[in-house]
Structure 1
Amino acid sequence: MRICALIKYPPIQGGVSSRSFWLARGLAELGHEVTVVTHADLVEDQYRIELLDDDMSWLEYEAQSGGRVRLVQPQRDTRRYTHIPQGRMFTERLASLATQAVRQYDCELIYSYYFQPYGVAAHMASLWTGVPYTVQHAGSDLGRLMIQPDVHLAYRELITRADAVLTPSPRCFMAMGVKREAIYNPQKFTLPTERFCPETEPLDMRAHIAAVAERRRGEDIGPAAERFDPSLPTVGIYGKLGEAKGSFDLLHALAALREDGLKFNFIAMTRGRELPRYRALVRSLGLDECTWVLPFIPHHKVPAFIRACTAVTFLERDFPIVFHTPTIPTEILACGACLIVSREIANKQAYREDLRHGENVLIVEDPKDHAELAGALRSVLTEPGRAQAIAEAGRSIELGLEPLRPYAEGFVRVFEDVLKRRQGHPNAIPAAERNVPEDRAAMLKDFAHTLWVAYGDAVMDPARDAYLAAHPEELATPQRDALRFCEYLREHPVETAGSTPDSWADTLRATEGVAWMGVLEDDDLLVGPFGRRDCVTLQDKRWLDAAPLRTRWVRVERFTALPASLPWAQDGCSPEQPVTLAFHKQANMRGNVFAMNPQSRNLLELCDGARTTRAIIQQLAERTGQPPQAVLEVLARTLMWWYTRGLISFVDAPAG
């Protein structure tokens, strides 16, 4: 098969780049020809992998099977693309290069991974060449970029027009109108066990530090290479910098250990916007004599780096994208190193039930508790034998890893099915394997699931069958069908043992609220969630003088009789103890349901775009009798939490 792949690729750092890199290599080893079209070489330094001379042969690859990876990239000199307002034209250039590659190498299919710019460019190239295209998403493009007002329609168009959408989250794409037959569950990335294993030779850290120092003369990466002491324990970290990554928490914990006289090496393979602040903190905490802050390491060298460390940390906490599931903990365990991980990330792993603190992993409940984090580090730095024992026990965890071949074969199976569907054949991959409902009856149970949780199969299955008989025509999306099902049940109530009319009515309203989050009308898409442009003052940190405006796409409901089997009513739901729920729909169709107390509901009502944050603070201070500063501290946390999740925006306050 000849595939044009629009993907992140080295020297871009990150999980999507890693998955794409190994997939391209795996496809080549199966005998396929992969033409990678990417702008990876133009990536900013803060997200750039440092490629040394011995790394270059890994980017373009000819396999013994006859397959190959070919690399196509834009011109480096962007001055010739000058236009006003200035931009780098990545989407247009990638679309043009992909079109050229498809025609030059007779590619049969276009694969794209990440909406921006690869998915958009793939859609354009497919439109121009007639070659089918597939799109796969990550966490941040679906969870963050797609909810932005200026781009959500573009992403929706490329998604609904794709020949295949590769996603582990089919519900939101079905809500957008993607047909079941076009949805595929992507092969799970499991790390190639040929590289990620305890048998990998450890990286020669002195040699690596020296090579990077030679390449980056004049840059402060840490002490001279010979100052690295291989006889001391080494703490490692790799990946992007950030508060939510626990990067700064780790420095504070290490500084406390350094003050206690512990000696160690600290290697941070990291970059990010906050690198200057990070380096400054290293110096101010007195860690500069034992710390090397190096650029990102190539994907194929990550196992060797892990093997060179006594312990490797991954301390992500309070991450704004809840379905973000990084693979770094699995990489560390697979290579046989001692993993120190935050509770938040430990709980996101498929093998979380097998993680035992102090036995096969060290779990830090909250990395912001620097004393707790320092304690975990101390236990392995002062007892290297304990670190080794934890690492060896970690190897026994069933991580579900496989060699590279099955990972690539899973994608080949999807690509072949897409090509056959283009020729008019039905899906060869069963619905269950593609993680989509088998038929309309299964879809109703899935998208009106609240009713089944409340009343069970014995009650709801006959009611659903009666509805399907009364309404044999299928609506455009399962969510719309679920809403009509609720209307039908309101007219044809079901007898339920122990239930009251109020409980039945509340359950229907809750089910409708969940289904409503998956429905966007044409006016919603045209006007957007706020109907007004946000203000520039927020970028200048003057949010107190901006007016918070709640989204039009929120529905607040008060319940007094929800069944206790529903998650929102587990602590009770009655007229004396009502439950207020906010149903918040977003452009990515991944709605959020969250409980609100009376204070939060009142605050949300005040976010009408007619008054500034400062005016709201004053109004609440007068109403509650609290000092304005106390109100500000609580309000700031709440409003910024709502803002990052798209529940409110900040707009210019009306004049006067």
Structure 2
Amino acid sequence: MNICVIGKVPPIQGGVSSITFDLVSYLANKGHHVSVVTNARSVESAYRETLQEEDWAFRHYGRNKNGGSLRIVDVPTPSRAYRHIPDGQPFLTQLTGVTLSVARGSDLILSYYLEPYGLAAWLAGTVLNKPYIIMHAGSDVGRLMNRSDLAPTYKAAIRGSRAIFAGLRRPFLGMGLSEDQVVEIPPRGFSSWFTSAPKQTRDGGQVHIGVYGKAGQKKGTDALLLATAKALDQGADFHLLLLGNGYDVYKSMIHELGITENVTVEPFIAPWKIPQFIDRCDAVAFLEYDFPIKFHSPGVPYEVLSRGTCLIVSNDIVGRLGEPRSAELPDQNLIEVDPRRPDSIAAAIVSICSRVENAHEIGSRGRDLADWVGDSSQWNAFVENKLQLACAPADTNHYGWSSVVGWLSRSTKADPEGMLEKLWVEWREVDAQSFPNSMVEAYAFSKYLEERALQDIGTSELKSELKLDSIRLWQFMDCQDDYFAEFDNGPDATDDQLHPLVTSHWCTTEVDGKELIFFRTPNLIQAPVFEYGPDLKALVRVCDGRTPISRIPDEIGLRSTDVTAMLQRLYDQGVIIYVRRMPDTEEN
């Protein structure tokens, strides 16, 4: 196949860039001709990898022995000639324009990450009449698509695609895509260079604890630096290696903690050189916690484990690593810590420094976890197969009871006599309309039952469970309403100028004796559910776009700190936005 890919590649740092380059290299080695259109050379310094001459050569390797080829097409870095007001980088226009030329001879266009790559694929694919496929990550659909002013554009691009490669099916089925259009991709292993590079063993000396990737509080950076100071105070002899570009803001903290001599900061490097960094360390920490995007699945832990290096990992992440054995057991294969408690990290470091050979043994056993996941070759082959099948026509007929019943799990458990199936058969005989997918059909059936059939048929338990199933499906049904409200929450806005506004659709029902409120957010993914107690009821009532934050505590009789925490939670979930308006004027 001739494939045009729009996305991130090195020197952009991060998982999406690394995954994209690994995938296109695989496709080229399988005999496909791949052209990558990217704005990677324009990435800002905070997220730029330092590539050496041999790295650039590796990035541009051209044709290979299997007859395939890989070409990286870098769009120009915007200069003064691109200047416009308001100032901004015209990346979407650049990527689209270059793709219009590059993709003319391509069989299809593949993009990875919605902004701006998925949108560029949408525009170029539409102009060229080429099938385009969008693959999403975590932060684009979890954060960007949950903003009410961005979501309509992303959804339009997704609906027009030949397929969306998704980690979650429900939100995209709820947008009305066909079953064939939503391709659920499996978990991905680590890139092949983590197992192909020979292991470089440590030759003793001072213990090295390493970290690589983005820095920040939720990445555990603050906790790690505090733990470093505590461990050094307890007599541990080690050096902390920080690989990344985001540590400038931590210079003063490192100095104030008195750990400057024990910390080295190095810039981001090419992803295929990360194995060498891991091999320099006796243990590598990955301490991400309280990450707002719950379905985000970082790859760093498996990369570390694949090298047979001891992994220090947060308790938030450890549950996603298959079935790792506890760090307290003799056959432990990782060390679990709580980044909310720097003392737990310090204790792990002290333990490693006291008997570093134990850490090496833990790392060797940890490789079993990496073997359980495997490298990325199987995932790459899956994507390759789906690209080849991308032109298959979609089935828009109804899908049969066996498909529909899967979306009504609570109702069917309360229906041992199988009455729902009989009602579904009767309904389909009367209503023969086509549905884009089985989830939309299940929702239409639930509404039919709720509004008509179960008024006189069915137990109270079945009615209750059906109501909950229907609401759960409703949370994923895109009504295509205008979620957007005009707002301006600039950095100079004060609490007197910011007015919380509920932009999500919501409804309430009683479950197990508790009243719950269900929200439908713009990205159809968060699906937040809260207990609808008196405090939340009062808060939702005043989130009308007219009540400023400064007045809300007095309006509903709660402390300012409690109101701030509740508003932050609703904002993070995409339930509210902040509207900045001038005071209302009276009409003459």
Q: State the TM-score, normalizing by the size of structure 1.
A: 0.82
Matched residue pairs, number? 578
Contact 2:504/2:574 (<8 A) preserved: no
- Which residue is 1:651 aligned to? 579
Superposed, which structure 2 residues align to 1:331-350 within 5 Å?
A: 331-349=303-321
- Which residue is 2:487 aligned to? 534
AA in 1 matched with 2:549: T
Superposed, which structure 2 residues align to 1:218-617 within 5 Å?
A: 231-272=205-246, 275-349=247-321, 351=322, 353-358=323-328, 359-364=332-337, 366-397=338-369, 399-402=371-374, 405-419=377-391, 421=392, 439-455=399-415, 458=418, 460-476=420-436, 478-490=438-450, 491-493=452-454, 500-501=459-460, 503-522=461-480, 524=481, 527-528=482-483, 532-536=485-489, 539-540=491-492, 542-543=494-495, 545-557=497-509, 559=510, 562=511, 573=512, 578-590=513-525, 591-617=527-553
AA in 2 matched with 1:492: A
Cα 1:632–1:167 change in 2 (3 A) is: same
Q: CA deviation at 1:49?
A: 0.9
AA in 2 matched with 1:536: N
Cα 1:457–1:126 change in 2 (3 A) is: farther
Q: Distance in 2 between matches of 1:43 and 1:381?
A: 38
| 2:132 is the counterpart of 1:93 | no
Superposed, which structure 2 residues align to 1:148-167 within 5 Å?
A: 148-167=147-166
AA in 2 matched with 1:14: G
Secondary structure of 1:418's counterpart equals coil
* Gap runs ≥5 in structure 2: none
Q: CA deviation at 1:38?
A: 0.2
Q: CA deviation at 1:356?
A: 2.3
Q: CA deviation at 1:118?
A: 0.7
Secondary structure of 1:317's counterpart equals coil
Q: CA deviation at 1:476?
A: 5.0
Moved more, 393-402 or 640-649: 393-402
Q: Distance in 2 between matches of 1:600 and 1:457?
A: 39
Cα 1:636–1:71 change in 2 (3 A) is: same
Q: CA deviation at 1:457?
A: 8.2
AA in 2 matched with 1:66: G
Contact 2:516/2:532 (<8 A) preserved: yes
Q: CA deviation at 1:35?
A: 0.8
Q: Distance in 2 between matches of 1:288 and 1:230?
A: 22
Secondary structure of 1:554's counterpart equals strand
Cα 1:35–1:484 change in 2 (3 A) is: closer
Moved more, 233-242 or 442-451: 442-451
Secondary structure of 1:57's counterpart equals helix
Q: Distance in 1 between matches of 2:497 and 2:97?
A: 44
Cα 1:477–1:609 change in 2 (3 A) is: farther
Q: CA deviation at 1:266?
A: 0.7
- Which residue is 1:22 aligned to? 22
Secondary structure of 1:149's counterpart equals coil
Q: State the TM-score, normalizing by the size of structure 2.
A: 0.91
- Which residue is 1:634 aligned to? 562
Cα 1:398–1:73 change in 2 (3 A) is: closer
Secondary structure of 1:22's counterpart equals helix
Contact 1:30/1:405 (<8 A) preserved: no
Secondary structure of 2:454's counterpart equals coil
- Which residue is 1:66 aligned to? 67
Contact 2:504/2:576 (<8 A) preserved: no
CA distances 1:205-247 after superposition (whole Å, capped 9, x unpaired): xxxxxxxxxxxxxxxxxxxxxxxx9611111111111111111
Contact 1:543/1:650 (<8 A) preserved: no
Contact 2:306/2:370 (<8 A) preserved: no
* Gap runs ≥5 in structure 1: 204-228, 428-435, 563-572, 625-630
Q: Distance in 1 between matches of 2:312 and 2:504?
A: 43
Superposed, which structure 2 residues align to 1:96-115 within 5 Å?
A: 96-103=97-104, 106-115=105-114
CA distances 1:44-99 after superposition (whole Å, capped 9, x unpaired): 11111111223112211232212221110112352111222222110111111111
Contact 2:171/2:476 (<8 A) preserved: yes
Cα 1:595–1:271 change in 2 (3 A) is: farther
Contact 2:408/2:466 (<8 A) preserved: no
CA distances 1:410-467 after superposition (whole Å, capped 9, x unpaired): 2221121124x2xxx679xxxxxxxx99924244223333313444684544443443
Cα 1:444–1:293 change in 2 (3 A) is: same
Q: Distance in 2 between matches of 1:487 and 1:270?
A: 52
Moved more, 600-609 or 466-475: 466-475
Cα 1:654–1:97 change in 2 (3 A) is: closer
Q: Distance in 1 between matches of 2:487 and 2:548?
A: 13
Cα 1:367–1:126 change in 2 (3 A) is: same
Q: Distance in 1 between matches of 2:421 and 2:326?
A: 41
Q: CA deviation at 1:145?
A: 0.8
Contact 1:192/1:401 (<8 A) preserved: no
Contact 2:173/2:440 (<8 A) preserved: no
Q: Distance in 2 between matches of 1:163 and 1:515?
A: 24
Cα 1:92–1:545 change in 2 (3 A) is: closer
Contact 1:27/1:34 (<8 A) preserved: yes
Supply the RMSD in Å over aligned alpha carbons.
2.6
CA distances 1:613-641 after superposition (whole Å, capped 9, x unpaired): 221112344xx7xxxxxx11222111111
- Which residue is 1:145 aligned to? 144
Q: CA deviation at 1:402?
A: 4.1
Moved more, 590-599 or 260-269: 590-599
Cα 1:79–1:313 change in 2 (3 A) is: same
AA in 1 matched with 2:405: K
AA in 1 matched with 2:158: I
Q: CA deviation at 1:129?
A: 1.9
